[in-house]
Amino acid sequence: MKIDINLIKKLRNYTNLGILECKKYLLLSNNNIKIAINKIREDEKIKNINNNFNNNKISSIIISSTSKNNDYGFLLKLNSETDFVLLNNNINKLINKIIINVINKKIKNIDIINKIIKNDIIHLSKIFKENIYISNFIYIEGIIYIYI
């Protein structure tokens, strides 16, 4: 059975699971996202998946940081369902972990970041009962100037 990449992306946004896991659940559910989410719940991968996944209300913050020499840096968009979650101190700890890892390890790939913070995201999602995920990441090399 062929799986539509857009369905995989959509399921990833709601569950924060990896591509292969999303593909597996979509195969098990015959490409039905609602059934896939229920199967994920049954397997207790994530208990806090958004019940109303057609709800497009998303709150976001943009995280940016540069190296000490300003010769590389990144921009990252972190999302949740409400701004309340993004303003929480626990999220600040997650942001600091992301900054430290990306800058110190020169991480250029969003999948590597997601692997590093996967357990933190699952833990925070359970606390807040909301999906928390990274939707965009850009790694930048060269002299960087930040204007606000």
* 66 or 83, greater pLDDT: 66
Q: What count of other Cβ atoms lies within 10 Å of the Cβ of residue 139? A: 16
Kindly report, residue by residue over 4-41, the tens digit of the pLDDT: 888 988 888 877 777 888 889 999 999 998 898 888 87
Kindly report, residue by residue over 84-106, the tens digit of the pLDDT: 889 889 999 999 999 999 999 99
DSSP 147: -
Name which of 28-32, 80-84, 140-144 the model is least confident about: 80-84
**What CATH class is the domain 59-141?**
alpha beta
**Cα–Cα dist 98/78, whole Å:** 11
| Domain boundary assignment for the chain | 1-55, 59-141
Query: Looking at the DSSP assignment, which residues form a beta bridge with residue 65?
Result: 74
Residue 130: what residue type?
E
What backbone torsions phi and psi does residue 117 show, to the nearest 5 degrees? Answer: -105, 5
CATH annotation of 1-55: 1.10.8.10
